[in-house]
Structure 1
Amino acid sequence: MPASLSIYGAGRLGQTLAKLWHQQAYFDIQQLYCRTQSTCLDARDFIGAESAQCLSNSDALSSSDIWLVSTPDSAFANACESLKHIIRPGDIVFHCSGALSSSELNRLQAQGAFIASIHPLHSFAQPAQSLTQFAGSHCAYEGDAEALAALLPAFEQIGGHCFAIEGNKWLYHAASVIACNYLAPLIAASHQAFAAAGIDQQLADTLLQPLLSGTLENIRQQGPANALTGPIARGDHDFVTAQWQALENNHSQLAELYRDMAKHTTRLALQRDNSEELNAKLQKLRGIFEE
């Protein structure tokens, strides 16, 4: 008989994981807790676990073998307060925060629960899409061995590739944010620059798709520094300053972003095995952007 799983805060992440496990009958989805009953009912409909209880009153919660706390990170303390009266020795409680460790659940560990944190490197913006895209996602884990012994096979069953995280989770999560969350504003800035050049967003997306996919593949094969192309990689002072000036004349905020990115790109270009002539050009560019 599968272990019972209850979810405290059945948002996009919680719904997605629960449905993936429910589809494979890996866990018995027992309880869903949300702030409103309508949200909870919608979550249950998405998951498809018709027998799961929908609760919006934490006092009505009952015991469960495993608890997923998938509230915002700032609400972990409230979740522990709500669960403290039903946690039994040997129960498993975990969260999926990328920045916070399992120690956020220490209050429940003190009552005999085994705790863990498992963070999938995956965007859950659209749960319906995540159902087909989750497989292959890497999941950073840490916590009690007893909790991990039960949870890691569950994530692997739905296609997760689990790896231990032992360093600073804030730095780990910052790395993820830079690569994922900061890409969206960079693309938005690119759209703005294209629009200023008279190119609409639909065409801009068509132009960007092969550039982005090709760049990612080059980075995978060669590493970030060696994958660099374009005017900074060539040390083309006149070309870069002309672009910067064109942005300054049309959109000062884009020009500021261009300058910041050019500064980091120049530093990266200097890490390559360049000729003395190219390094001299890059140092000249670096002086302009870091002055």
Structure 2
Amino acid sequence: MNVFVVGAGRVGRALLILCRESGHTITGSYNLTEVGAKRTTEITGIPTQYGATLDVSDNTELLWITTSDEHIASAAHQVTIQNPHLPKTAWVHCSGALAADVLREAVPSAWSVAGAHPLQSFVNPQRAADAAKSAAWFVEGEPDALSRVTTFLLSLGVLPRPLPAHLRPLYHVAGVLASNAAIALFSAAASALTMVGLTRNDAVTSLLPLWQTTIDNVAEKGLPEALTGPIARGDVSVVRAHLSAMELVAPELISLYRELGIRTLQLASEANRTDPQKLNEIAQLLKD
């Protein structure tokens, strides 16, 4: 399939690598700045336009808009202004939170629009491209664009999952909690270790094996069976000791601990392997 990428930043670079490695023809790419365009070319080997030049090849079948969410409509508008005679092309944005309608507002009705988003993070372009081949992709939009993006994803060995447009923000909440919020939680755990004498780097290094085995447990056993720890064991005295320690030296962590503890109680109750009386005692501690 002939593919053009507008917005060759983190997501766009990964997509370009993915297209190249999967045998698709890249008809071009575009980045707003010269620095960004040169960096994209260095990373992907794909010549990248920038600035006022945005010429989309007439044989483009799938045009990806991979800018940040707030720039999707303006980027699409720029393409339509500079390429008014572009043949019928499917337009797809890569936002997790926005529906395909954000493109519909900027793209003439002759062109079909869709949204396609992989449930993954994008930091290292090559790693992200590799992950995209096994990630869960969620799609919604108009029939022609959906057909083309589905064909594209099937070529990667990915079966896209339909996502109603009005539920995209909630879907994105799931991604934020599993990724961004998980890093914030990891940061909180690291800060607790710095209070017992570790440097931040040492704290991160010390926590990584625990984090990895936790992910492995979820992958192997699922929820709620992967749950471990004092609440899962019904260890009231340990939870009480945690709260006392935080009151003394880390009061800023208490509200987070209580909130997550209540969620952990729900999982422990669902697992049905802990004395309900113990769980009730822990619940009372977390509410006090």
TM over 0.5: yes
Which one is further off, 165-174 or 96-105? 165-174
Pairwise CA distance, 1:144: 2.1
State the alpha-carbon separation in 1 of the partners of residues 260 and 48 from structure 2: 50
Q: Secondary structure at the match of 2:153?
A: helix
1:284 aligned onto 2:278: no
Q: Is the 8 A contact 2:16 2:26 kept in 1?
A: no
Q: Secondary structure at the match of 2:224?
A: helix
The residue type paired with residue 219 of structure 2 is R
Pairwise CA distance, 1:279: 0.9
Pairwise CA distance, 1:151: 2.0
The residue type paired with residue 51 of structure 2 is S
Which one is further off, 107-116 or 278-287? 107-116
State the alpha-carbon separation in 2 of the partners of residues 232 and 16 from structure 1: 40
Pairwise CA distance, 1:172: 0.9
- The structure-2 alpha-carbon separation of the partners of 1:239 and 1:25, relative to structure 1 and needing over 3 Å to count, comes to closer
- The structure-2 alpha-carbon separation of the partners of 1:71 and 1:91, relative to structure 1 and needing over 3 Å to count, comes to same
Match of 1:6 among 4, 17, 31: 4
Q: Is the 8 A contact 2:32 2:51 kept in 1?
A: yes
Pairwise CA distance, 1:160: 4.0
State the alpha-carbon separation in 2 of the partners of residues 11 and 19 from structure 1: 12
1:43 aligned onto 2:40: yes
Q: Is the 8 A contact 1:102 1:142 kept in 2?
A: yes
The residue type paired with residue 61 of structure 1 is D
Structure 1: 5+ residue runs without aligned partners?
none
State the alpha-carbon separation in 2 of the partners of residues 130 and 53 from structure 1: 20
Q: Which residue in the other structure is 1:56 paired with?
A: 51
Q: Which residue in the other structure is 1:246 paired with?
A: 245
State the alpha-carbon separation in 1 of the partners of residues 35 and 27 from structure 2: 18
Pairwise CA distance, 1:240: 0.4
1:260 aligned onto 2:259: yes
Q: Is the 8 A contact 1:89 1:112 kept in 2?
A: no
- The structure-2 alpha-carbon separation of the partners of 1:218 and 1:212, relative to structure 1 and needing over 3 Å to count, comes to same
State the alpha-carbon separation in 1 of the partners of residues 130 and 33 from structure 2: 28
State the alpha-carbon separation in 2 of the partners of residues 26 and 240 from structure 1: 55
State the alpha-carbon separation in 1 of the partners of residues 132 and 80 from structure 2: 31
Pairwise CA distance, 1:161: 4.4
- The structure-2 alpha-carbon separation of the partners of 1:61 and 1:260, relative to structure 1 and needing over 3 Å to count, comes to same
Q: TM-score, normalised by structure 2?
A: 0.87
State the alpha-carbon separation in 2 of the partners of residues 206 and 48 from structure 1: 34
Match of 2:127 among 122, 129, 150: 129
The residue type paired with residue 32 of structure 2 is R
Q: Is the 8 A contact 2:258 2:286 kept in 1?
A: yes
Count of aligned positions: 283
State the alpha-carbon separation in 2 of the partners of residues 189 and 231 from structure 1: 18
Q: Is the 8 A contact 1:137 1:159 kept in 2?
A: no
Q: Secondary structure at the match of 1:122?
A: coil
Pairwise CA distance, 1:181: 1.1
Q: Is the 8 A contact 2:31 2:48 kept in 1?
A: no
Match of 2:68 among 61, 65, 72: 72
Q: Is the 8 A contact 2:224 2:268 kept in 1?
A: yes
Match of 1:93 among 74, 91, 94: 91
Q: Secondary structure at the match of 2:270?
A: coil
Pairwise CA distance, 1:246: 0.8
Pairwise CA distance, 1:184: 0.7
Pairwise CA distance, 1:74: 1.2
State the alpha-carbon separation in 2 of the partners of residues 18 and 255 from structure 1: 44
The residue type paired with residue 65 of structure 2 is V
- The structure-2 alpha-carbon separation of the partners of 1:231 and 1:93, relative to structure 1 and needing over 3 Å to count, comes to same
- The structure-2 alpha-carbon separation of the partners of 1:48 and 1:193, relative to structure 1 and needing over 3 Å to count, comes to same
- The structure-2 alpha-carbon separation of the partners of 1:46 and 1:220, relative to structure 1 and needing over 3 Å to count, comes to closer
The residue type paired with residue 73 of structure 2 is A
Q: Is the 8 A contact 2:40 2:48 kept in 1?
A: no
Q: Which residue in the other structure is 1:235 paired with?
A: 234
State the alpha-carbon separation in 2 of the partners of residues 57 and 177 from structure 1: 34
Q: Which residue in the other structure is 1:188 paired with?
A: 187
